[in-house]
Chains A and B, each alone.
Chain A
Amino acid sequence: MYVDYFDYVLALILIFLTWQMLRVKDLLTSIVLFIIFGMLIALAWMQLKAPDIALVEAVIGSALTGVLFLGALGYIESKSQVVYVEKKNVLITSRVYTISLTILTAFLGFILFLTMWKLPEQQVGLHHHAMSALPESGVKNPVTAVILNFRGYDTLLEIGVLLLVVIAVFALNATRLVIINTSLKRKSRILAAFLYLLSPLMVLVGFYMLWAGGHAPGGAFQAGAMLAGVGILMLMGGGSLPLSMKFRVMRFIYAIGFASFICVGILVGNETRHFLQYPPSLAKYLIFMIEIFATISIAATLVTLFAGCTGLLLAQEDHVVKVKGKSL
């Protein structure tokens, strides 16, 4: 019973946080509120007994997206020499617009509330079907089975979206830059020592989460986010990473997740099986192979996103552009 009260309070806090996030004029404050909001959503996922999704939300949805926002804000401020960035007022301020939008939103909220009120007491979802088909899927974790086997097509398209994101980041930034070598102003010995001591552990935990995805909360996205964390810390501490489309190796790394998924999907199909229908005897190995390549791709994509959002990919006066050979 007390747990119910906690859920109600959590829901009210989430609504309050959202209101404040949109109301506050200072962008830094709303970004911090966004990070807190993401962490509380992860807590809500845990209340719904979904640890995998809570992991992904806390790492990617809250922490990584918050870092991207903060990096972009810092880049804007450094470029325009203002101390803090204020949100401009909404373009449309007419009273009719405000009132009609309020009525529409309240109506939608009311309908959603009615739907939730009328939900049956017992779950009539696909839980039973998923658990009964679990032995054939090749993994012991039902979430991984759903993501990579039963609904593999969705994950395939998600990884394709990540590849599109990398292309978009490079399209919006200068592509002349070959290796990022940040200036001495950014280098920090404490961060370098921290990375020196802890990045082996972080890489190990990342690959362990990849391996554990088969039987416990984990998987490709969580492992990729962990490895991306190492890359982002390296960039923040003044390291240099070869983030560019000019290297064959980097093009390979960006594309291998999507490509391996498609190849596996095509190669398993024959007269009796469809695209992406793994044979049950090989399912475990196929899923693991797809997850390994997806992890590498996801990590590289997230680090490139960070570099793009923070302005590190643009050739600026305090970055040294070094041109290495034609290809690595």
Chain B
Amino acid sequence: MEIHQYVALSFLFVGVLFFIAGAFGLLRFPDTYSRLHALTKADNIGLGFIILGIAIEMGDLSVFIKLVLVWVLIIFSSATSCYLIARAALRMDKNEQE
């Protein structure tokens, strides 16, 4: 294995670590809101590292641009769905308090 494959492998490994951290946070945090924090932030950063690793392995510029576009779109959609889930959870909490 050459040096750039080692670099790609380490990026992939770091990405997987972030995903594991996100899943751990999902299981261990006490509240819906903190779980949303763990899911969206950690998972998106993990995805960014995985995409970096794939891009270094592939070495093609057009593939890299497409993958970065995929990452940006996933960040958009996960942020939107995080907001919607938090809004629904807030509404449920308000209904329970009344």
Residues of A within 8 A of B (CB): 188, 190-191, 194, 197-198, 201
Contacts and interface: CB of A to CB of B under 8 A. Distances in A.
B85 to A, nearest CB: 11
Interface in B74-95: 76-77, 80, 83-84, 87
A83 to B, nearest CB: 9
A194 B76 contact: yes
A190 B76 contact: no
Interface in B45-98: 73, 76-77, 80, 83-84, 87
Nearest to B95: A83
A34 B40 CA distance: 21
Contacts of A188: 84, 87
Nearest to B82: A190
13 contacts: A188-B84, A188-B87, A190-B80, A190-B83, A190-B84, A191-B80, A191-B84, A194-B76, A194-B80, A197-B76, A198-B73, A198-B77, A201-B73
B79 to A, nearest CB: 9
Contacts of A201: 73
Interface residues of B, number: 7
B65 to A, nearest CB: 15
Contacts of B77: 194, 198
B47 to A, nearest CB: 15
A191 B80 CA distance: 7
Residue in B77, B84, B87 whose Cβ sees the most chain A Cβ within 10 Å: B84
A188 B81 CA distance: 11
Residue in B73, B76, B80, B87 whose Cβ sees the most chain A Cβ within 10 Å: B80
Contacts of B80: 190-191, 194
Nearest to B87: A188
Contacts of A198: 73, 76-77
Contacts of A194: 76-77, 80
Contacts of A191: 80, 84
A198 B78 CA distance: 13
A303 B84 CA distance: 20
A207 to B, nearest CB: 17
A89 to B, nearest CB: 28
Nearest to A74: B88
Nearest to A197: B76
A206 B87 CA distance: 29
Nearest to B83: A190
A198 B76 CA distance: 9
A228 to B, nearest CB: 16
Nearest to A236: B84
B48 to A, nearest CB: 19
A191 B87 CA distance: 12
Nearest to A193: B80
Interface string B16-60: 000000000000000000000000000000000000000000000
Given A194-B80, A198-B73, 13 more contacts: A188-B84, A188-B87, A190-B80, A190-B83, A190-B84, A191-B80, A191-B84, A194-B76, A194-B77, A197-B76, A198-B76, A198-B77, A201-B73
A132 B52 CA distance: 39
Contacts of B73: 198, 201
